[in-house]
Structure 1
Amino acid sequence: MSLDWIYWAISWILLRWHSLWEMIGVPDGTVLGTNWAWILAIIFLVVTVRVILFPVFVKQIKSQRAMQALQPQVKALQEKHKGDRETLQKEMMELYRKEKANPLMGCLPMFLQIPVFLGLFHVLRRLDPSKLNKTLYGWTAEQFDSAASAKLFTAPIAGQFGSSAAELERLGANGTTVKIIAGVLVLIMMGTTYLTSRQMILKTGWAEDPQQRMIQRLMLYGIPASLLVSGAIFPIGVIIYWVTNNLFTLGQQQWVLRKYPPPVINNKDGKAVPGPGARKSTGTQQPQDKPSRFSRSKANGAVQDTKPAVDGKALAPKPGAKPVNPKKRKPAKRQG
């Protein structure tokens, strides 16, 4: 299957944003060693994609909430079919079908962004001044040359941490500078990727289903670790896209998770408890007075038994009278 349509779409969005920033007056030349019109074009490519995928992201959160609500039933099935993995899987698939919950929905937004990532990766890899066909995917020769020379703090956006000496020479780049900028961005990319997964797991909790838990561990640890190796072949422009996407995800997840808080589920005793990550109440509650053992009240407040009030003045000693110590009492007279 040809991916040309993705390359055309990514190029079109990227070029439209670059033209817009040029029209607004963002300089296309270097300021602080950076061509900001192209950097902003990559950043707003992220914004465009995330706005388009926002409804899918909301469905992802709702699906995860549905999966959370089913956790007590999933745990009951695991106890019931312990040791019978095949029957357990069938019962769980039937439960998900009945409750219209999709375990794979949690990964859908990430899968939908993979073509965008691959498209941008391919387009930026083409930014080589030695290319003869500069007008592929709707680019003009002028736009191609401008992007090929675009830099972030003097490091070309088409450069990679693992670029060869010949590639760096064609881009007119300093190898040390490219490695420093790309290395720092890769570390930021790994950190923000870990934080996006951690934020989601802290809010939704670890899944009871072993397969779901395995996916969560892969998202939390596996993907960030893999970026340490694969990040060496990513062009700097692609890393900028990934970091921006992660920062956008952190903000978007925070907003959506507040709007769709974790569901209330039942614990072992059947009592309703807030789901993992539910926000605790910040308001201070006034302590309620404990009912006296001498008072009883019904729901309607119709019956109230209270201890008779005692007049304190009546118990007070009279003026001039000798105080009486209640502990010292005269022995009772014996009956003769």
Structure 2
Amino acid sequence: MSLDWIYYAISWILLRWQSLWSSLGMDGKFLGTNWSWVLAIVFLVVTVRVILFPVFVKQIKSQRAMQALQPKVKALQEKHKGDRETLQKEMMELYKTEKANPLMGCLPMFLQIPVFLGLFHTLRRLNPANTQTTLYGWTTEQFNDATHASLFNAPLASKFGSTAQELAALGANSTTVKVVAGILVLVMMATTYATSRQMILKTGWAEDPQQKMIQRLMLYGIPLSLLVSGSLFPIGVIIYWVTNNGFTLAQQQWVLRKFPPPQMAGKKGSGSSAKPAMSGPAKKSGDAPKNPVQPGRTGGLFGRNKAQAEPEPPVADTKKLAPRPGAKPVNPKKGARPASKPKG
């Protein structure tokens, strides 16, 4: 299957934006950078992301649906433990019944792959020795202008792993290209990691082992793979990737703030119901409350807080109860007897 339609579409968007910025006076070079071409790549990202925004919303809804199904998925895993075939069948039936699609979470990324490949192919053609200058709707003037376009004196068509012959054809300095491309590759890795980490921190790790493996791959595997593959990308493609990551970070932050994900079941317990009503040591089960309120009584300032308690006896005067001088002491074990009066 020919991919020419992708190359034509990407070239058309890129050239329209470049013409717009050139008409606004950005067709020259400043700080070793042709900003009309750099901004054309940046706004190519904006155009694609605006087109894919409805798909991104569906991705968020699918992730919410998958998150809500985690308790049921875990129950199926426990029920069919050791029977992978039955488990897969039951899970597919569950996804069908609940209208959830596990692949929807990766759909926006898959849809951007053709755009990435189209831009990669288009920028790789930018070589002064290339005689096919009018392919995909380009004019010879546009092709020659793009061939010499650069970012801080590093041609957009050059890459970290460019050979000496390729750099000579572009009229580029090897050190300059490696420094600019190397910094961009590191930024590309960092922003790729940040986009995956942002989503996982907000939604939590999946309970399903397959989903969790995909999350780990997105978080660690892809950024590390860019350390090698990034050296093969033209600088213009890396600009596209970094811009796309920045757009994703902002878009995810907006969506997660506007539509916060539901709290995971395993993370509950921080609410008011999980906290004791009163601080202090726990009461024993056999301990009776100090001030139980009886029916018909009211507490507070205008009621009797100790209505159920017996009235406290008055304090006895020890001087009045003391025996008189010369009286015999009373034995408390033998009943109460009146004290005898002294003779005489």
Contact kept? 2:293, 2:305, Cα under 8 Å: no
Cα displacement (A) at 1:210: 1.2
Contact kept? 1:294, 1:305, Cα under 8 Å: no
Find the aligned partners of 2:297 and 2:94 in 1 and give their Cα distance. Answer: 51
Cα displacement (A) at 1:260: 1.8
TM-score w.r.t. length of structure 2: 0.81
The residue that corresponds to 1:9 in the other structure is 9
Find the aligned partners of 1:154 and 1:309 in 2 and give their Cα distance. Answer: 85
The residue that corresponds to 1:308 in the other structure is 304
Q: How does 1:21-40 map to 2 (within 5 A)?
A: 21-26=21-26, 28-40=27-39
The structure whose Rg is larger is 2
Find the aligned partners of 2:305 and 2:34 in 1 and give their Cα distance. Answer: 85
TM-score w.r.t. length of structure 1: 0.83
The count of aligned residue pairs is 301
Q: In structure 2, do the counterparts of structure 1 residues 217 and 305 end up closer, same or farther at CA, with 3 Å as the change threshold?
A: same
Cα displacement (A) at 1:136: 0.7
Find the aligned partners of 1:329 and 1:232 in 2 and give their Cα distance. Answer: 100
Q: In structure 2, do the counterparts of structure 1 residues 295 and 230 end up closer, same or farther at CA, with 3 Å as the change threshold?
A: same
The residue that corresponds to 1:129 in the other structure is 128
Q: Give 2:298's aligned amino acid.
A: D
Find the aligned partners of 2:232 and 2:152 in 1 and give their Cα distance. Answer: 19
Find the aligned partners of 2:233 and 2:317 in 1 and give their Cα distance. Answer: 96
Q: In structure 2, do the counterparts of structure 1 residues 33 and 75 end up closer, same or farther at CA, with 3 Å as the change threshold?
A: same
1:228 aligns to 2:200 (yes or no): no
Q: How does 1:148-187 map to 2 (within 5 A)?
A: 148-187=147-186
The residue that corresponds to 1:205 in the other structure is 204
The residue that corresponds to 2:341 in the other structure is none
Find the aligned partners of 1:330 and 1:204 in 2 and give their Cα distance. Answer: 75
Find the aligned partners of 2:265 and 2:231 in 1 and give their Cα distance. Answer: 47
Contact kept? 2:298, 2:304, Cα under 8 Å: no
Say which SS state the counterpart of residue 77 (structure 2) adopts: helix
Say which SS state the counterpart of residue 11 (structure 1) adopts: helix
Find the aligned partners of 1:174 and 1:31 in 2 and give their Cα distance. Answer: 18
Q: Give 1:192's aligned amino acid.
A: T
Q: What is the aligned-residue identity percentage?
A: 72
Q: In structure 2, do the counterparts of structure 1 residues 155 and 84 end up closer, same or farther at CA, with 3 Å as the change threshold?
A: same
The residue that corresponds to 2:286 in the other structure is none
Superposed CA offset, 1:127-172 (max 9, x none): 1011111111111111111111001000000001111111100100
The residue that corresponds to 1:68 in the other structure is 67
Q: Which runs of 5+ in 1 are unaligned?
A: 282-286, 298-302, 311-325
Superposed CA offset, 1:79-124 (max 9, x none): 1111111111111111111000000000000000000000000000
Contact kept? 1:18, 1:41, Cα under 8 Å: yes
Q: In structure 2, do the counterparts of structure 1 residues 185 and 292 end up closer, same or farther at CA, with 3 Å as the change threshold?
A: farther
Say which SS state the counterpart of residue 25 (structure 1) adopts: coil
Superposed CA offset, 1:172-198 (max 9, x none): 000111011101100110110011011
Q: Which runs of 5+ in 2 are unaligned?
A: 280-288, 307-314, 323-331, 338-344
Q: Give 2:80's aligned amino acid.
A: H
Contact kept? 1:69, 1:264, Cα under 8 Å: no
Say which SS state the counterpart of residue 33 (structure 2) adopts: coil
